[in-house]
Amino acid sequence: MKKYLLFLLLLFYCFNVFSQQDAWVYLVDKQNVSSAVSNPISILTQKAINRKNSHGVVIDARDVPVNESYVSQLKNASGITVMAKSKWLNAIHVRGSEIAIKNLTSSFSFIDYIDFADKSLNDFKRVKEKKQSKLESILTSFNYGSAANQIQMFKGEQLHLANYTGSGMTVAVLDAGFPNVNSMAGFQRLRNANNIKGTYNFVNRNSNVYTNTTSNHGTLVLSTMAGYVENQYVGTAPDASYYLFITEDAPNENPVEESYWVEAAERADSLGVDIINTSLGYTTYDNPNYSYSPSQMNGNTAFITRGANIAFEKGMLLVNSAGNSGNDSWGIVGAPADAAGVLSVGAVTSAGLYASFSSRGNSLQPTRKPDVVAQGQASIVITENNVIASANGTSFSSPILAGGIVCLWQALPSLKNSEIMQLVRESASQYATPDYYLGYGIPNLQMALNSGIALTDAESNTEVKLYPNPASFKAYIKIPLTEESVSVLIFDVLGKLVSSTAITPLNNEVDLLSLSNGLYLVTLKSKNISQTIKLIKQ
């Protein structure tokens, strides 16, 4: 009898789960679009407006919120639950029976069309695929270690030495739970600087991202960028500001998580966020009728992918894990990593070799995927128990590199998101011969910085610039691209020559380690240059 009752309960559960459908309701219009766009402070923060203006990003109807009257009417519709909404796509994610959802079109004139997650209900079939986990991490034990290799692999430490550590940049981390980030020692430095700017749980609709979460994934991801343990661990962007958003309902696989993600990306844009890191991927679901097929990872089909492309158009730079399907039947990158507007990051070993679990690209994607790679096998993280540990997954190669890109954009603030992405690609180890395993390869952010400086000063080809100043261990000198070589002579305040070297436009590093703190005169000499610059060593 007990087994029979259990069977009935299970049958009821399955019927209840799969009788409830998910769908996107697309709306015909918005309210007060012209007045909102002409007065953008009514819909965006000043930081968001400044970022868009500085990068030439147009504020348009997509920035205007969804008509709340439409949302309210759908909430009151019989048998309908409103799960999420997207201003960019002017759509509302609803859940209910097939009949209740289809009845909406005859009840409300403001509905343009309805797109069911189960595409068979839209009169065409999807190929069903084996379910894949979207939380891309495999945690292993680690007693003691250092995060040096994973940042040195792409020369990110060179940006830190140049005092580019993320200060002034804002990052949104869209993930699962962030347990203990508000209390553990590994994020004390982040909290002391008041660099956690806000939190929101889009799944539970509250600001709690630290407790009652179903996953520690976000904590591990955040640690690779913002974690800090004195003499033991430094993240790749330790001085950036962060928003922590939960969009992932870890125990379940449902397309509403795509809608949560788009909502979070929209909020990030309105808050003036510069870079979004996402270590999530969406391919198949608990209800197989909702699942995508590999052929639909084409950069423009998935709801989350379309939202990601709009986020890119809005001026943000999106970094996403490529996925961990390299060893299974799925094989390729998922959504939103398939988007052209996303910098997708695959995984390599500590030696820079392809990690077999890392998802591959293919010819279906509109751009090369993965774009680039970083260390994702034996990545060093800080767990929610404040333990420095090793973990595998493109979940970690993505934020490790994202932090480095945060520092790069800090150094090149006048460049657009597309220009930063292209600098990263062009600096990578196999840019001339990309493939579907490593994409363009392992980036060299020092090279990207040098190329970016040359790009930003292209209109002033005769300018010479020394940066940073003051400097600690190294300085860099921008010289015209027409110069083959320039002599660099460093004198102390008494006129004594203390250092000499030569630089080129792309190899422009000057080592200051042997110099004592103080004031120096840096003299540059070539056929076309004769200039002296004051330098403060600190």
- Identify the CA nearest to 321 among candidates 374, 274, 269, 284: 374
- Please state, in angstroms and rounded to a whole number, the distance separating the CA atoms of residues 22 and 222: 31
Residue 360 to residues 133, 330, 333, Cα–Cα distance (Å)? 16, 10, 6
Sheet containing strand 497-503, edge to edge, reads: 497-503, 486-492, 518-525, 530-537
Q: Which residues contact 470 (CB under 8 A, 6 or more apart)?
A: 535, 536, 537, 538
Q: Which of 279, 395, 397, 427 is catalytic?
A: 395
Q: Which residue do the tokens 């209740």 mark?
A: 100
Please, what is the angle between helix 217-226 and helix 394-411, to 10°?
30
- The phi and psi torsions of 274 (rounded to 5 degrees) equal -90, -45
- Please state, in angstroms and rounded to a whole number, the distance separating the CA atoms of residues 174 and 157: 25
Q: Which two structure tokens, joined as six digits, stand for 452?
A: 């970016």
Let me know: does 469 contact 475? Beta carbons within 8 Å: yes
Q: Which of 55, 93, 160, 217 is catalytic?
A: 217
Let me know: does 348 contact 377? Beta carbons within 8 Å: yes
Reply yes or no on whether 160 is catalytic: no
- Please state, in angstroms and rounded to a whole number, the distance separating the CA atoms of residues 91 and 255: 14
Contacts 24+ apart (CB under 8 A), 47-53: 47/170, 47/271, 47/272, 48/269, 48/270, 48/271, 48/272, 49/272, 50/272, 51/272, 51/274, 51/315, 52/314, 52/315
- Please state, in angstroms and rounded to a whole number, the distance separating the CA atoms of residues 510 and 162: 11
List the alpha helices (DSSP H) in 32-187.
33-38, 46-54, 68-75, 98-107, 148-152, 156-161
Three-state DSSP class for residue 158: helix
- Identify the CA nearest to 274 among candidates 155, 405, 165: 405
- The phi and psi torsions of 408 (rounded to 5 degrees) equal -65, -45
307, 312, 316, 321 alpha-carbon torsion, rounded to 10°: 70
Reply yes or no on whether 395 is catalytic: yes
Reply yes or no on whether 274 is catalytic: no
Catalytic positions are 175, 217, 395
